[in-house]
Amino acid sequence: MSVLKLYEYPSPILREKCEKVSVFDDELRILLDNMLETMYVDKGCGLAAPQVGITKRIIVVDPNPSDDDLSARQPMHLINPEIIWHSEETVLFKEGCLSLPEQRADVERYERVRVHYIDYDGNEQEILADDILSIILQHEIDHLDGILYIDHLSQLKRSRLLKKLEKYYNEEKHKKVE
Ligand code: CO
Task: Tell how far the Cα of 98 is from the centroid of ligand 1, in angstroms.
Answer: 6
Tally the C-alpha atoms within 13 A of residue 43's C-alpha that lie toward its C-beta.
5
Task: Tell how far the Cα of 9 is from the centroid of ligand 1, in angstroms.
Answer: 10
Residue with more model confidence, 106 or 65: 106
Task: Tell how far the Cα of 22 is from the centroid of ligand 1, in angstroms.
Answer: 24
Average pLDDT estimate for 154-178: 91
Q: Which residues contact 9 (CB under 8 A, 6 or more apart)?
A: 99, 100, 148, 162, 165
Quick check: 45 pLDDT over 90?
A: yes
What is the rounded distance in angstroms from the CA atom of residue 161 to the CA atom of residue 169? 12
Rg of the chain over all Cα atoms, to the nearest angstrom: 16
For residue 19, indicate whether it is catalytic.
Answer: no
Average pLDDT estimate for 29-35: 97
In this structure, of 69-73, 104-108, 119-123, the range with the lowest mean pLDDT score is 69-73
Quick check: 173 pLDDT over 90?
A: no
> Which band of pLDDT confidence, cut at 50, 70 and 90, is reported for residue 1?
confident
Task: Tell how far the Cα of 46 is from the centroid of ligand 1, in angstroms.
Answer: 7
Which position among 89, 102, 111, 140 bears the catalytic label?
Answer: 140
What is the rounded distance in angstroms from the CA atom of residue 9 to the CA atom of residue 161? 12
Q: What is the pLDDT of residues 54-91, one digit of tens each?
A: 999 999 999 998 888 889 999 999 999 999 999 999 99
pTM for this prediction: 0.96
